[in-house]
Chain A
């Protein structure tokens, strides 16, 4: 006999398998709730329970072992119509390997129902112990009985925030119990307990389902959480990532005729990347081509902070810097991070804070008290100093960037100007 949801009576399971009962009662429950087949999206896991697809008149999605709850979650995220029903069929094996996905869907209270076919073992692969096998239960990988207890998937899902959870015995008519879960808005999970005749019954002769459930210490029952419906909270969006990028117009000139590489380095929190950005933008404003990248330890708030900048009158392709043409060092951290490169310089210029020991180098050494304007602004001051001394970009072009970006009141401009005026 067929039903609106099942296209056959001959379900593809071993005789007496509880999976048949679940499939038939699912169909019955959906009928009771007046669902139309194509309002239901059935997502099935890998395992015996998952081969039900071909018998269903619903939409069917057959994914990977253990991942079907996450796959169903994706469908739930993408489904605008709240009258659609997303149901995931999964085994105790899939529940074990994909536990995280169930917790996540429960935590977010996604609109879907998960039906755990708990037959206490991996059916399809030959009756091995799963994470839901109860203590003492025999499987093909524990003939003397499972030494451990199984996960309480209901308690876990409930704690994670599921709107509705129930554990039921897979006997007689369970359609009303399934219907409660299917009718729940938000995330619901039903753990149906059954025994796999082919392995479970064979390996545990004379044991009855109710007694096994009793021995597992897990109670038949229902649990719920008062939950708000899941809302796709989205932060502030932009409809064009390029629109608000400031255009940098050419207002200055640079005498630079060949590519030049520059390293700015100091300590985290001392404005290194900001300072390098000022140079880069001022250089663009002076008609140059630029590349800029930063490097710092993973703990971004301590240790060195280094910026690598290339300036060139022509377009730049390769942007790596092996031995730099110029280096600006404002702190001990910056010196330590770049000592080797500085020692390898045969020419070029080294701008270094006067508090620091000067390494052996072929570069011309220019010492200055960059930290006099305060450690936090040492790098910004140093790039002004660099501009003044080299003329590659002008200090005016740097001031322009600061002004254009509205950073003037965030930086001690008066102090910097003062300090600059004292430079000969």
Chain B
């Protein structure tokens, strides 16, 4: 079936889609530190964002982003595990301060520096627990070029509306690959409307007093109301407290905010096949192999459904419900330890659960097919 319908076809890489999408959604600053395989994102970020700053390391990157966010900017950055590892304390800071920002995390083969130019899907477990206290931080994961466009804008929207750092998870094989692409298929992105505290309100502004779980934002650059931003345990006013009721309620709210609001951001792709008793689950780059596997299996008469999770954190309950409703579940992801299933089942993996793993090589459709037919 050759292309006949009218479209605007071009050769494009996913990095370009991600940055343009975030810019249109309202991101306005890119803070960069070079690391393969995130360098294309840095290059595009520098060209596209009204403000680009070259940080001297990734701790500084996150601190600069946080400072900018406190003034009302919506900063983004792109990195890979080694850089992300340096960022973690500061990601916690931004989470506690409730500052919006997006970190594009491009997975590569670890541990440590590992292989910079080799893809992987090994960072999900880290992202599940990287906020001290185990509080969830939103993680969205792209699995197609269309996702690179729509989820990137969603990530910005989520960061702004929930006042939180958000990770857009992707991998080397997605952001460093070019594809033929019909630009006319891209849905329009509108800039996220930011809500600010109404400056005309009388009475005292409290930096962490929530309206519907999220506090109203005011930048530290205005002079109508005192703003207190705090990474230590604090009360509604933003004043440091040891562990009094108000402060604990605030910390509890950080968790509730993400858990309760995240359902608005439960994004996944479900292809249900009638009467299928087998389900393939794959996210990120492996979802591409899973799509091909499903197509081929169906051509061979096999009945199989496909689940592509896109919201990875907080883990939506619906994944467990879907997975529980199948006789056999095959999860494919490019690591050795089945991090997605760990997230869903913990140690209690059901008997009907099977895993296709990979290390240093993309998982092929054939590997998934073999496991389905085993």
Please pick, from B2, B44, B227, B362, the residue contacting A313 in the complex, using a CB distance under 8 A.
B2
- Inter-subunit contact A277/B66 (CB<8 Å): no
- Inter-subunit contact B64/A53 (CB<8 Å): no
The distance in angstroms between the C-alpha atoms of A64 and B53, with both chains bound, is 21
Please pick, from B20, B57, B72, B117, the residue contacting A78 in the complex, using a CB distance under 8 A.
B72
Please pick, from A62, A64, A70, the residue contacting B240 in the complex, using a CB distance under 8 A.
A62
Please pick, from A61, A248, A318, the residue contacting B229 in the complex, using a CB distance under 8 A.
A61
Give the size category of B's interface with A: 35 or more
Report if B139 contacts A (CB, 8 A).
no
Residue of A nearest to B218 (CB): A59
Residues of A within 8 A of B226 (CB): 37-38, 57-60
Known interface pairs A67-B59, A318-B364; A290-B11 also in contact (CB < 8 Å): yes
Please pick, from A59, A81, A104, A287, the residue contacting B228 in the complex, using a CB distance under 8 A.
A59
Please pick, from B183, B230, B362, the residue contacting A62 in the complex, using a CB distance under 8 A.
B230
Please pick, from A39, A239, A254, A319, the residue contacting B288 in the complex, using a CB distance under 8 A.
A319
The distance in angstroms between the C-alpha atoms of A281 and B93, with both chains bound, is 46
Residues of B within 8 A of A249 (CB): 9
Query: What does the 1/0 interface line of A234-269 toward B look like (CB < 8 Å)?
Result: 111111111001111110011000000000000000
Shortest beta-carbon distance, A274 to chain B, in Å? 13
- Inter-subunit contact B291/A78 (CB<8 Å): no
Report if A24 contacts B (CB, 8 A).
no
Report if A184 contacts B (CB, 8 A).
no
**Segment touching B, from A221-229, A292-300, A372-380, A415-423:** A292-300
- Inter-subunit contact B116/A298 (CB<8 Å): yes
Residue of B nearest to A72 (CB): B67
Q: How many residues of A contact B (CB 8 A)?
A: 75
Query: What does the 1/0 interface line of B151-181 toward A look like (CB < 8 Å)?
Result: 0000000000000000000000100111110
Known interface pairs A67-B59, A313-B1, A317-B292; A237-B48 also in contact (CB < 8 Å): yes
The distance in angstroms between the C-alpha atoms of A253 and B4, with both chains bound, is 11
- Inter-subunit contact B2/A280 (CB<8 Å): no
Residues of B within 8 A of A80 (CB): 221
- Inter-subunit contact B238/A241 (CB<8 Å): no
The distance in angstroms between the C-alpha atoms of A245 and B181, with both chains bound, is 11
The distance in angstroms between the C-alpha atoms of A238 and B70, with both chains bound, is 26
Report if A148 contacts B (CB, 8 A).
no
- Inter-subunit contact B364/A322 (CB<8 Å): yes
Please pick, from A64, A81, A320, the residue contacting B364 in the complex, using a CB distance under 8 A.
A320
Residue of B nearest to A64 (CB): B93
- Inter-subunit contact B180/A289 (CB<8 Å): yes
In chain B between 7 and 66, which residues have their CB closer than 8 angstroms to a CB of chain A?
Answer: 8-12, 16, 19-20, 23, 29, 36, 44, 46-48, 50-53, 56-57, 59-60, 63-66
Known interface pairs A70-B63, A298-B117; A293-B51 also in contact (CB < 8 Å): no
- Inter-subunit contact B239/A53 (CB<8 Å): yes
- Inter-subunit contact A74/B228 (CB<8 Å): no
Report if B289 contacts A (CB, 8 A).
yes
Residues of A within 8 A of B48 (CB): 237-239, 241
Residues of B within 8 A of A51 (CB): 240
The distance in angstroms between the C-alpha atoms of A295 and B177, with both chains bound, is 10
Report if B71 contacts A (CB, 8 A).
yes
- Inter-subunit contact A74/B51 (CB<8 Å): no
Report if B365 contacts A (CB, 8 A).
yes
Please pick, from A237, A290, A294, A320, the residue contacting B180 in the complex, using a CB distance under 8 A.
A290
The distance in angstroms between the C-alpha atoms of A316 and B145, with both chains bound, is 11
The distance in angstroms between the C-alpha atoms of A241 and B227, with both chains bound, is 36
Report if A382 contacts B (CB, 8 A).
no
Please pick, from A84, A104, A292, the residue contacting B60 in the complex, using a CB distance under 8 A.
A104
- Inter-subunit contact A235/B47 (CB<8 Å): yes
The distance in angstroms between the C-alpha atoms of A46 and B89, with both chains bound, is 13
Residue of A nearest to B239 (CB): A54
Shortest beta-carbon distance, B75 to chain A, in Å? 8
- Inter-subunit contact B68/A74 (CB<8 Å): yes
Residue of B nearest to A232 (CB): B51
Shortest beta-carbon distance, B189 to chain A, in Å? 11
The distance in angstroms between the C-alpha atoms of A109 and B225, with both chains bound, is 29
The distance in angstroms between the C-alpha atoms of A289 and B73, with both chains bound, is 39
Residues of B within 8 A of A254 (CB): 2
Residues of B within 8 A of A57 (CB): 226
The 7 closest A-B pairs by CB, nearest first: A74-B67, A78-B71, A70-B63, A38-B223, A320-B362, A74-B64, A287-B2
Known: A232-B51, A289-B179. 12 other contacts (CB 8 A): A38-B224, A38-B225, A59-B228, A60-B238, A64-B63, A80-B221, A237-B50, A242-B183, A281-B11, A291-B177, A298-B36, A316-B179
Residues on A facing B (Cβ under 8 Å): 36-39, 41, 46, 51, 53-54, 57-64, 67, 70-81, 84, 100-101, 104, 232, 234-242, 245-250, 253-254, 277, 280-281, 283-284, 287-295, 298, 313-314, 316-320, 322
28 contacts between A and B (CB under 8 A): A38-B225, A41-B220, A53-B230, A54-B239, A54-B240, A59-B229, A67-B93, A70-B59, A71-B67, A74-B64, A74-B67, A75-B67, A75-B70, A80-B221, A81-B221, A245-B12, A280-B178, A288-B3, A289-B3, A291-B177, A292-B11, A292-B177, A292-B178, A317-B291, A319-B173, A319-B179, A319-B288, A320-B361
